[in-house]
Amino acid sequence: MNGKGDKWRPTNWEKYRNNLNDIDMHGETSEVWCKKTNVKLESILDPDGWDREDFEYSFFKEKISLTEFKKRLSYSTRLFNKTT
């Protein structure tokens, strides 16, 4: 209840969390996740998070969640540009 006597409504945080869950359930390739999250492919120097033996499939064809993409990205060596 929201104190007005009508039925319960989700808070902004709950709506945001639900949207993240919806996004996370829809798999995309890592290449697509890079574009959606503004990660430049050339910034990934050592892609330890992806299958090294079949990188082409692992990065360009395998559909994964946003959470999985972030996990794989965190395992990889990346180059970050220094902002001035």
Tens-place pLDDT, residues 7-17 = 656 565 555 55
C-alpha 49/C-alpha 69 separation (Å) is 9
- In the chain, where do the E strands start and end? 44-46, 77-78
Q: Are 47 and 55 in contact (CB under 8 A)?
A: yes
Q: Residues of the chain with pLDDT > 90: what percent?
A: 42
Please state, rounded to an integer, the average pLDDT across all residues of the chain. Answer: 79
pLDDT band at 53 (very low <50, low <70, confident <90, very high): very high
Single-letter amino acid, residue 3:
G
The residue ranking higher by pLDDT, 5 or 64, is 64
Q: For CA atoms 21, 27, 30, 33, give the dihedral sign.
A: negative
Domain ranges of the chain: 27-78
Task: Record the pTM.
Answer: 0.65
Please give the pLDDT value at position 1.
Answer: 47
Q: How far is CA 34 from the centre of its chain?
A: 8
